Every structure is written in C-alpha cells, then in structure tokens.
Amino acid sequence: MQNSNYKNIIFNIIFVLVCLISVCLFWEKNVLLTVILIIIFFIGLYKWKTKEVIILFIIYGIFGAITEATAIYFGVWTYTLPNFIGIPFWLPVLWGDAAVLIYQSGIEIKKLI
C-alpha cells in the first residue's frame, strides 16, 4: 500500500472522529455544532476536491433530514432539542458529512483491493 493511501485512510478516520466528538460535545448548542460540522465538511472538500463530494453532501443532507423528519412524524424517535421539522439544525449537515465520508472511504478501500 502506498504512503498516500495510509494518509487518506488516516484523514478519513480523523474526519469521522472529529464529527463524532463534535456531536458529543456540542449537541446542545445547535448553531455552534452546525457551524463546526460545516467547517469539517469544507476541510474534507479541500482535501477531496470533487464535484461528487458537494453533490453527495447536498443530496444526502436533504434526504437524511427528510428521512429523520418522517420517522419523527410517525413517532419512531425524537430529538431533545429540535429546531426544524423535528430535527436539530446540525443533523442534515452530519448526514452530508457521513455521506461524503462513506464515499471517500469506499474509494480508499477500492484502492486497497
């Protein structure tokens, strides 16, 4: 495996850990967490530099939010501090971050095989 593959995998691991830690620390501060997750996305975008990343972020952010709102509407679960359609502001951003992370991780795994 090439050195750049290791660096990319390490970046992806750090990306997910920073997202997770941010949510765990700042979930009660909706606007702050939203801004943090957007900054994390732009750091990822700077590294990955593709149109696909932007498209995935937007599409999965929107559909993730719609899915969550639908489940909440039917009483499947609730969020403690919802701001918009039963979900916190930061949740669509987290869905977008998760989508681009999964996409980029798939690319790295494909390189390994």
- Quick one: pLDDT at residue 94? 98
Contacts of 11 (CB under 8 A, 6+ apart): 47
Question: Rounded distance, CA 20 to CA 22, Å?
Answer: 5
- Quick one: pLDDT at residue 1? 57
Question: Rounded distance, CA 99 to CA 83, Å?
Answer: 22
Sites in the chain below the pLDDT cut of 70: 1
Question: Rounded distance, CA 5 to CA 112, Å?
Answer: 8
Instruction: Specify burial of residue 57 (Cβ count, 10 A radius: 0-12, 13-18, 19+).
Output: buried
Asked if 30 and 57 count as a contact pair (C-beta separation under 8 A), the reply is: no
- Quick one: pLDDT at residue 5? 82
DSSP string, 36-82: HHHHHHHHHHHHH--HHHHHHHHHHHHHHHHHHHHHHHTTS---SS-
pLDDT digits (tens, 9 = 90+) for 60-82: 999 999 999 999 999 999 999 99
User: At CA 27, angle to CA 21 and CA 29, rounded to 5?
Assistant: 120
Q: pTM for the whole thing?
A: 0.91
- Quick one: pLDDT at residue 4? 77
